[in-house]
Amino acid sequence: MTQSSTPLRPSRSPLRLFTDIRAGEEKSALLLLANVFLVLCAYYFVKPIREGWIAVSDIEGFSKVEVKAYSSFFQVIILIPAVALYGRLSERWSRRDLITRATLFFMSNMVIFWFLQPNFFVANLPFTGIAFYLWVGMFGVFIVAQFWSFAADLYSDAVGRRLLPLIAIGATAGGAFGATITGWLVDSGWVGADWLLLVALVPLGLSIVFTRVVDAREGGATRSIESASPEEDEAPPEPKGPSGMSVIFSSRFLLSVALITLLVNWVNTNGENLLYWVLQDFIEHEALARGLIGDIALADFTRQETTVFYAGFFGTVNWVALILQSFVASRLLRYGGFGALLLLMPVVALISYSTMALVGTLAVVRTMKIAENATDYSINNTARNVLWLPVPSSQVFKAKPTIDTVGARIGDGLAALTVLVGVNLLALPVAKFFALNIGLVFLWLAFSFVVIRQHRLLSEAGDADAVA
């Protein structure tokens, strides 16, 4: 990790509006901000395609909702060997080569799926929509986890606490810009939906360039993930280290982080399903009030109202998150510490779902979900990345991708199971689902206190090593 032998003087850069940045840190921080901006833009170029493709990928005996729900479990099955392989490669390649080759692999996948799009070059091949849906889910969490592993490895704990909230502005802005520009490109007719996969290659390719430039600037061009010297590279290969899963289960801190990741995704995805449920009930009553009859008229009204609702919802979430990331995250970390940063999200979730349980109208649920999602995309996203700063590099590149991919998808899978059991088997009312989420948030809070304590111990141990 980058260390400074002498304290850097405060910078006069306008970036001080967002965080406490020092002279000499601006260029790398801005390159990393631009890097994650491009990564999130690429993801939002790809994400809209999957819904249309899976809609024409029927499996006999299953509804489309069931197909999407079960895909979460299949993602876990695929991700476990994928992250294990990534961990092994992190032992062999420098971080620059690891990120470059992994990103190029995803880019090659995009070209393959672009060619296989239904009725584009070939007919609608069976199960290709399912495969693409699984791939997008893995791509979205894996490529972002890889970037934050790189950023956490670049900076010491003290420097990272100041700079990661600034860099995270790029992620939030990339999501907002990517979603907005995708809709504009398609609506304007400049780029057809069939070509978005190729458009996504551009920001991903640029992100590789930025990664290599930053790695060279920070002195890591020839440094492997294990910080091996050139002489060590010529030595016989060391025995393989533990896998990502082994590293996680050997550490109380990492295991607690994994459980929090699972709970965050379980709670949040439950909330998304509940919002959709309440919205569809509202639209159904609106259709009846307007006297709409006939399957075609009702379907058109439902599709249009749902699209309009989510367009406004996602836009509001992203822009509120950008404001929080720009002006709140770094100040909360600086004056409240890591604990305040990590605890804000479950506190917001607890207030949100308690309010929804008492007043379950669409307006209230929408407002509470905006607050929850915006906090997740900004404050909680910063906390998830700051917590890795005192963790050794060898563990970061194994444990973080594993937790951010497998842990997240298990949470999504449990949310799918919650819907299937709660709706199809128990026929629970919507209020019961809000109560379930409140219980899950209390578990989330309990593990958060464990992580805060363990993080403090790791940081203190790192400070003692630095002094020694």
What DSSP line would sit under 304-358, residue for residue? HHHHHHHHHHHHHHHHHHHHHHHHTHHHHHHHHHHHHHHHHHHHHHHHHHHHHHH
**Total structural domains within the chain:** 1
Q: Which of 367, 346, 363, 360 is nearest to 274 (CA)?
A: 360
CA dihedral 432, 436, 442, 446 (to 10 degrees): 170
DSSP string covering 390-422? TS-HHHHHHHHHHIIIIIHHHHHHHHHHHHIII
pLDDT at 71: 66
Q: Confirm whether 332 is domain-assigned.
A: yes
Taking the alpha carbons of 378, 380, 381, 385 in that order, is the dihedral positive or negative? positive
Q: Confirm whether 288 is domain-assigned.
A: yes
Q: How many beta carbons lie within 10 A of that of residue 114, not counting itself?
A: 19
Q: Which of 155, 176, 218 is nearest to 326 (CA)?
A: 176
Q: Confirm whether 2 is domain-assigned.
A: no
Q: Confirm whether 11 is domain-assigned.
A: no
Q: Confirm whether 235 is domain-assigned.
A: no
pLDDT at 375: 96
Q: Which two three-digit tokens encode residue 117?
A: 């799009």
Residuewise pLDDT in 10s, the chain (468 residues): 544 444 566 556 677 777 778 877 888 899 999 999 999 989 878 876 765 565 445 566 555 455 655 666 677 677 778 877 887 887 888 888 999 999 999 999 999 999 888 777 776 666 777 888 788 878 887 888 889 889 888 888 888 888 888 888 888 888 888 877 776 776 677 776 678 889 999 999 999 999 999 999 886 533 333 333 334 344 444 445 666 778 898 899 999 999 999 999 999 988 988 887 888 788 888 888 888 776 667 766 775 676 567 656 777 887 899 899 888 988 899 899 999 999 999 999 999 999 999 998 999 999 999 999 999 989 998 898 889 888 887 788 788 878 887 787 788 888 888 877 887 777 788 888 889 999 999 999 999 999 999 999 988 887 655 544
Range of the domain at 433: 23-227+240-467
pLDDT at 80: 73
Going by the DSSP 8-state scheme, the letter that residue 424 receives in this structure is I
Q: Confirm whether 369 is domain-assigned.
A: yes
Q: Confirm whether 249 is domain-assigned.
A: yes
pLDDT at 379: 94
Residues, the chain, total? Answer: 468
Going by the DSSP 8-state scheme, the letter that residue 239 receives in this structure is P
Residues 188 and 374: their CA atoms lie apart, in Å, by 28
Q: Confirm whether 128 is domain-assigned.
A: yes
Question: What is this structure's pTM?
Answer: 0.69
Instruction: Give the CATH number for residue 455.
Output: 1.20.1250.20
